Copies of this chain bind each other. A is one copy, B any other.
Amino acid sequence: MDPVDKFRRTSYKLTKPRLVILEYLAKQKKPRSVREIHQQLNRERIDLVSAYRNLELFKELGIIFEEKMNNQSYFYIADKIHHHIICSKCRLIECFPCHNEIIRLKNFSSINHQLSMTGICNKCSSRKEKR
Q: Which of A23-31, A37-45, A54-62, A95-103 is found at the contact surface with chain B?
A: A95-103
73-131 of chain A: CB within 8 A of chain B: 73, 85, 87-88, 94, 96, 99, 102-103, 105, 107-122, 125
Question: How many copies altogether?
Answer: 2
Interface of A, secondary structure class, is strand
Do B121 and A117 have beta carbons less than 8 Å apart?
A: no
28 A-B contacts, Cβ less than 8 Å apart?
A: A68-B71, A69-B114, A71-B71, A71-B72, A71-B73, A85-B105, A85-B111, A94-B105, A94-B107, A94-B108, A96-B105, A99-B102, A103-B117, A105-B117, A105-B119, A108-B117, A108-B119, A108-B122, A109-B122, A109-B125, A110-B125, A111-B117, A111-B118, A111-B119, A112-B118, A112-B119, A113-B115, A115-B115
